[in-house]
Structure 1
């Protein structure tokens, strides 16, 4: 009977900091549902990005995509770290989390208008996005106020409350005040500084083992891994969208089959590369490395979503009228792949505090996407250029599995030994 009550009852319970080394801590079904909402937001942003570039608004589309993914990723990061430290799974926690999810949906609804405002009007219109952000912040502020009732983490929680409230007021001004475009960009930059500074200030409170909120290293590593997988889902969706466009406009040819196959392989290669990073093991013993690791993942999430948009744009290259140029499509895929590979390499080196020396194939792998861009401008067909870009992450995987893992393991063992 006791187990049945624990399994089905979600009554209110005091929000206390969870143990930092709680055994068998894993992502919850609610967190998985939360991530699916963000998958939808990534999908909308990627589709708008691809359509904007195809319509000839490349510069505006890039800027809008960067702003959109930054907003979506930051909203996810805020909740992920809070839940890792204070998740009670009672009915109130679930309700406030669902409020935040509703805000993400509103934010996603506002993405097309934000893209359109930059591409056509030249005026930054993010009012619906900010409305969604306000809804998310209401839910998150309520969560932090609950956490503030724990004396051990009251200072941390109230610090978060202050920074979130100030930043939110700033976003309201950016969205609704009649600011010139330059002033709006400057105000947005100041808001981002406040957003990023809140966790830095809050997590420095306390001493020793009690410093910062009690997030769980392996749980947070799993959460980041799951969002990476969610973002990789956009590469699959982008490939499917391209396949549909190709089949409807010109039917299936050998070139089209190779292009679609390369898109699928790109998903596998990026996932395999990401799984090489020893996030949980290092964060468990070097908690202070979490800021660079956590913020650095923004480039990973955004680059993966951008690859999905680039794969979606492949379909526009096969249109009968005004097809998208091959160099543009390859740029949309190769540049995010380069950002992804560089980010993975730098974060891995930062976690173990050792550069990945002795793997010359890694340097070659970084150059292959650049070579793909050069070949595209030289006039080679899309399928050939895409295969060259794909060879970059594939070569990283091959180098790792062919023996590079030994060096990576040695670096990990040294980092763990230093902590011990």
Structure 2
């Protein structure tokens, strides 16, 4: 904990953290924040699952990507702020809890968004989260004169972005095409705020702390895949035994371990603490998390298909797993391998991601699992030799 100057009981100055602190680790409050965020992610994955299973592919995929962005974005902004300024005082905890309340509100609105593009609860929750962040940035601006311009740019940018979202909500309903075009503009505004702010002076985030925070969220997101595997086993326990349920459960375990192993390889994430590296690594994780949760939705879709509770054919279920696994591997290549490895190891993940997209046509789900496991082996051999 940062022992800032006490202003009055329970409150401390929000002075910048030392980015070189030894043994910096995630706090219990940050872990609780992750848990709340993953509730919203799970709600989005359920919407994708049902959209795919009912053969409403566009109605499942497009809203999933759209709603995943604010969930991930709010988590990411808070995480980088806490890495730089977390002083763990009473007001910081209260504002964090306000932000978590916003995340729960967003989660409550996800199902309505999938059904009718109804944005009210999602916007309300997102705005609550961002109000909490504005308050945090204003505190930092007050107590960190060196980066006051950076902090104020964040605060003003967040206020303007929230005004846009509220305006978008007021002018609903709009046609689907116009809605998603305006939604994309809002995303662009949000992405621009950190780019403008950090150019005024980088915030003092802790590299190892950020790496740990991202890794922890990845583990929780991969839990969506474990849940889908347990759904397959539950069908067996309920007396609806099919060999396909066993295949799904086993493939779930193999693919999950391959995804985990690939992300947590020996090569270190975020090797350079530059502005470009931070943005490309931090933003690139959007696709890793998006794909990780979507893999679980794909397995859940497969369970429905083989149980006779879905409209989609089996091949669609197989690709509902293959596509996110391939995106997941490409995401890891983008954020780490393209920087950390040299040829030929650097090309393993793109090559095997392409193979994963072909193999369902010939070998189904078991082929995806086999290629995912082979990816781990080949990448390890090329990257580390006999020490992998």
TM over 0.5: yes
Residues 122-147 of structure 1: CA deviation (Å, up to 9, x unaligned): xx321110011111111111111110
CA contact (8 A) 1:69 1:302 kept: yes
What is the match of residue 164 of structure 2? Answer: 170
CA contact (8 A) 2:244 2:306 kept: no
Residue 317 of structure 1 and its aligned partner are, at CA, apart by: 1.1
Report the 3-state secondary structure (helix = DSSP H, G, I; strand = E; otherwise coil) of the residue aligned with 1:283: coil
CA contact (8 A) 1:148 1:154 kept: yes
CA contact (8 A) 2:270 2:278 kept: no
Task: Please show how residues 254-265 of structure 1 align to structure 2 within 5 Å.
Answer: 254-265=243-254
What is the match of residue 5 of structure 2? Answer: none
Residue among 131, 138, 147 paired with 2:131: 138
What is the match of residue 301 of structure 1? Answer: 289
Residue among 289, 301, 304 paired with 2:277: 289
Report the 3-state secondary structure (helix = DSSP H, G, I; strand = E; otherwise coil) of the residue aligned with 1:305: helix
Gaps of 5+ in 1: 1-8, 118-123, 207-211, 376-383, 410-420
Structure-2 separation of matches of 1:391 and 1:360: 19
CA contact (8 A) 2:236 2:242 kept: no
Residue 158 of structure 1 and its aligned partner are, at CA, apart by: 0.4
Q: 1:281 to 1:331 in 2, by over 3 A?
A: closer
What is the match of residue 222 of structure 1? Answer: 212
What is the match of residue 344 of structure 2? Answer: 357
What is the match of residue 4 of structure 2? Answer: none
Structure-2 separation of matches of 1:385 and 1:359: 27
Q: 1:322 to 1:395 in 2, by over 3 A?
A: closer
Report the 3-state secondary structure (helix = DSSP H, G, I; strand = E; otherwise coil) of the residue aligned with 1:244: helix
Residue 343 of structure 1 and its aligned partner are, at CA, apart by: 1.4
Structure-2 separation of matches of 1:291 and 1:405: 27
Q: Within the alignment, does 1:108 sit opposite 2:115 as a pair? A: no
Residue 10 of structure 1 and its aligned partner are, at CA, apart by: 8.3
Q: 1:169 to 1:180 in 2, by over 3 A?
A: same
Structure-2 separation of matches of 1:311 and 1:20: 40
Residue among 131, 141, 147 paired with 1:148: 141
What is the match of residue 196 of structure 2? Answer: 201
Residue 92 of structure 1 and its aligned partner are, at CA, apart by: 0.7
What is the match of residue 253 of structure 1? Answer: 242
What is the match of residue 317 of structure 1? Answer: 305
Residue among 251, 261, 270 paired with 2:259: 270
Gaps of 5+ in 2: 1-7
Cα RMSD (Å): 2.3
Deviation beyond 6 Å, 4+ runs, structure 1: none
Structure-2 separation of matches of 1:336 and 1:368: 13
Structure-1 separation of matches of 2:196 and 2:71: 22
Structure-2 separation of matches of 1:67 and 1:198: 19
Q: Within the alignment, does 1:185 sit opposite 2:180 as a pair? A: yes
CA contact (8 A) 1:39 1:234 kept: no
Residue 259 of structure 1 and its aligned partner are, at CA, apart by: 1.7
